Amino acid sequence: MVTKFSSGRTRQVYEFMRLHRHQFDVRLMCRVLEVSPAGYYAWLKQPQSQRSADNARLLKLIRASFEASSGIYGSPRVFLDLREAGETCSKHRVARLMRANKIRAVRGYGRKPKSGAKPSELAPNVLQRQFDVGKPNKAWVTDITYIRTWEGWLYLAVVLDLFSRKIVGWAVAPTIGRGLVLDAVLMAVRRRRPRKAIIHSDQGSQYGSDDWQRFCRTNGLIPSMSRRGNCWDNAVAESFFSSLKKEYIKKKIYKNRLIAREAIAEYIEAFYNPTRRHSHLGGVSPAAFEAAGFKALGCPRNVGKSRPTQYRHSAGRNVYAELGRHGFPYCSGR
């Protein structure tokens, strides 16, 4: 007899039969409920199938990866964690188990950006949305955001290297003056020692100040500015702030600015740069990608969210080959 039920439904029928086997004849229940006696007796010997046992084991690993990311990772990044640990499950199976067990990344709020098109009179848009950069320290983006505390706003400025999406400089301050952005870019310059790097920003007054312009000239930085009101010209910096607020802050109001600063430092220095898997980098962290890039002296391109299949030139393949040798999934040099 062929059952008309799904595997989950069939197990429910078998459980019903087990509970009522002293009240009704087993063969009669099998005929009425349209299941096979052989299947029922096999289920009695092994109530949990091998597939169910594997799912239970896999679910523990999924929860461990999810909790290790503080609830930030969704199924694509959890899947990469499992693959790196040696599991051979598919990404769809991971997504199904997370969905069935209501494990999902908690996202914060979003906003609708305003568009504009007027270019800056202080600096041209040198970057021109060329977010794929072949070498470190060739193009940086910078921007400012705000964090809520019970003491008032805490402002955060970051400098991000487009090559590896790594935060190379950042600073916080209770005010949004030009000193904030100068502190962030000073950290970046001291860490990286760039030569003729583009540094792209919006048209905020801090980036149009004389102090900013003089600092850029003194340290070999080429200022570049977005068109007024056009957030897409600085989309990578906006994307980082979106990840910070949606993954980590999640509408939280910190008790004071010191606690907020420590939380930001933990996210950037202990999670985002060294650990967080970045979809643009093929699922590896900025630090791992940059280390492989420096070692291979390669020029990677945007691989998006899927397996990388094409590269700009042969040097780019060296980066992914180096990552593959270190055991990162989806990073072969093919």
332 in a domain, yes or no? no
- Say if residue 256 is in the same domain as residue 205: yes
Q: Report if pTM > 0.75.
A: no
107 in a domain, yes or no? no
Beta strands in the chain (DSSP E): 139-149, 152-161, 166-173, 197-201, 221-225
- Say if residue 149 is in the same domain as residue 226: yes
Quick one: average pLDDT of 194-208?
88
- Say if residue 220 is in the same domain as residue 288: no
- Say if residue 81 is in the same domain as residue 152: no
- Say if residue 296 is in the same domain as residue 260: no
- Say if residue 223 is in the same domain as residue 257: yes
Q: In sequence order, what are the residues at sequence separation of 6 or more whose Cβ sits closer than 8 angstroms to the Cβ of residue 310?
A: none
- On the question of pLDDT at 104 being above 90, the answer is no
Residue 299 confidence (pLDDT): 44
Number of CB atoms found within 10 A of residue 129's CB: 14
Q: Which range marks the domain in which residue 24 is found?
A: 7-45
Q: In sequence order, what are the residues at sequence separation of 6 or more whose Cβ sits closer than 8 angstroms to the Cβ of residue 156?
A: 144, 145, 146, 147, 170, 171, 172, 264
Residue 188 binned pLDDT confidence (cut-offs 50, 70, 90):
very high
286 in a domain, yes or no? yes
- Say if residue 34 is in the same domain as residue 91: no
- Say if residue 243 is in the same domain as residue 145: yes
Q: In sequence order, what are the residues at sequence separation of 6 or more whose Cβ sits closer than 8 angstroms to the Cβ of residue 311?
A: 300, 301, 317, 320
116 in a domain, yes or no? no
Residue 146 binned pLDDT confidence (cut-offs 50, 70, 90):
very high
- Say if residue 145 is in the same domain as residue 31: no
**Quick check: 229 and 116 in contact, CB under 8 A?**
yes
- Say if residue 40 is in the same domain as residue 55: no
Residue 301 confidence (pLDDT): 39
The Cα angle at residue 8 between residues 7 and 13, in degrees rounded to 5: 95
**Quick check: 140 and 186 in contact, CB under 8 A?**
no
Residue 132 binned pLDDT confidence (cut-offs 50, 70, 90):
confident
Q: Which of 28-37, 112-121, 173-182, 197-206 has the highest mean pLDDT?
A: 173-182
- Say if residue 148 is in the same domain as residue 236: yes
Domain count, the chain: 4
Of the residues 248, 272, 296, which one is the last residue of a structural domain? 272
- Say if residue 71 is in the same domain as residue 149: no
Residue 107 confidence (pLDDT): 65
